[in-house]
Each structure stands twice: as structure tokens, then as C-alpha cells.
Amino acid sequence: MEERLQKIIAAAGIVSRRAAEQYIRQGRVSVNGRVVTRLGAKADPGRDEIRVDGRLIPTGVEKLYFALHKPTGYVTSLKDPEGRPVVTDLLRDVGERVYPVGRLDYDSEGLLILTNDGDFAHHLQHPRHEVPKTYLVKVRGSLSAGEIRHLQEGVDLDDGLFVPVEARPEKTNPKSSWFRIVVSEGRNRVIRRAFDALGHPVQRLVRIAIGNLRLGDLAGGEYRALTKREIGGLTSRSGRKKEKNYLDNPGKTA
């Protein structure tokens, strides 16, 4: 059965569907010895010889899904030109090549999903699905009522207005404050930039949930396989659940 090339490549666990589209545009994909650069091109994975960068793509690969507690000091990538540690260094005895879904900054920590299922990754990252991501954010100083309202109503950044789905203080003292922030967009370092604009730089940022999937008590550097129920919940319309345990003891899984 013929399918779009980008879907076949993503399903084989090579890269996400979005990245596969870039590979096709760049002339890195061939079908039966002929380079294909048209995004609408189709092929039959059971019959055609499909190669990426000259390598034959595998078929019948087992789909894998993992939740990882990413520590700070790791790059959310498969490799880093600066030679820094990457998140896949933390996975052992996985068996198949997996890649991170979305990103989490080098100096941020918390829940990260890794998979070799391109369709699943595409669903989670597509803006249309608006999968919410929940963070606990420690910032310098104490925000005034006006600054909190400013954050909730939207902070104007260089690349447009940032309006969180939810923003509320959790713990506060004169030197620092913890906030719960929920976002459904993927702009780079948008939470850090918003607090910088308010004059309260982020000191710590922990992602505690993606949709209904929660970090829980997974320790820094640890990972586990997702259950079928969790996978199904992430591909349905995801609600939000409160995550209390981490804030009660924020040093527990650092």
C-alpha cells in the first residue's frame, strides 16, 4: 500500500515527520535508486527500496515510547556540535533508535518524551492539537499583583505576544517565587524570555507534565516506558491534572 514518503520515514523511526519533509526537500531521500524531492511523492514500504542518506530504512520496527526526567546539563538532541552530553546518552538497553519529542533547554529539567513513532511525535508537536505543557518555574524576587496580571494577560516579546494558558503563583518570598505555568505553544525559551521582560529572571525551570502525563517521582536521569493508556491519552484531547508532589519537595528529583 502506497503512503506519503515522509510518513513512511517517520514510521520507521528515522526522524519526525517534519524533519522527514526537510530531508525530502534537501534531496536526501531516494526511492528505487531515484532521488525524490517532491513532498507529495508516495511509495510502498513493502515493495519499494527507500533510502535516507543512502541507507535503506528498516520496516517492521517496534514502536517505543519513553518518559525521561531530563536533568540540567543535557542537550535535547541526538548529537551536539559542541560535544555536550545529549539526552539519549541517558537511555540504556533500549534496542531501537529513539529521538526526543520537542525540546527542553540545556539548563532546564523535567519531563521529556522519546520515541521512534513519527506519527505520535508529529501529533504532540503540531500546534493544531495544542497539547498543554505544565512547568514549575522559580524566578528571582517577588512579583507584584500588577506584574502577575501582566503575565496572565500577555507579555509582548520580540516574536509576538506570549499569553500562557495558565499562570499562577505557588510559593513566594522576598528573594524568589515559584510559579505554575501552562503553555500550549513551542517558541524557543518563551517562558524565560517572558520573565526576563518582567525583570524576574528564571532561576529554575522544571517541566512536570505533558498533557495528562506527569513527571511524578521519576528521578533525574531516570526513564520508563509509557503504558498503552498513557500513549492513548496523549493522542486524545489532553486535559490537565495538578502535580503537587514535586512542588512539595522540589529537591527530590533534581
Provide the annotated active-site residues: 105
CB 231 within 8 A of CB 66: no
Matching residue, cell 507529495: 40
CB 79 within 8 A of CB 86: yes
- Measured CA to CA, the distance from residue 152 to residue 166 in angstroms comes to 7
Q: Where are the alpha helices (DSSP H) in 85-188?
A: 118-125, 145-153
User: How many alpha carbons fall within 13 Å on the CB side of residue 106?
Assistant: 9
Say if residue 248 is exposed, middle or buried (CB neighbours under 10 Å; 0-12, 13-18, 19+): exposed
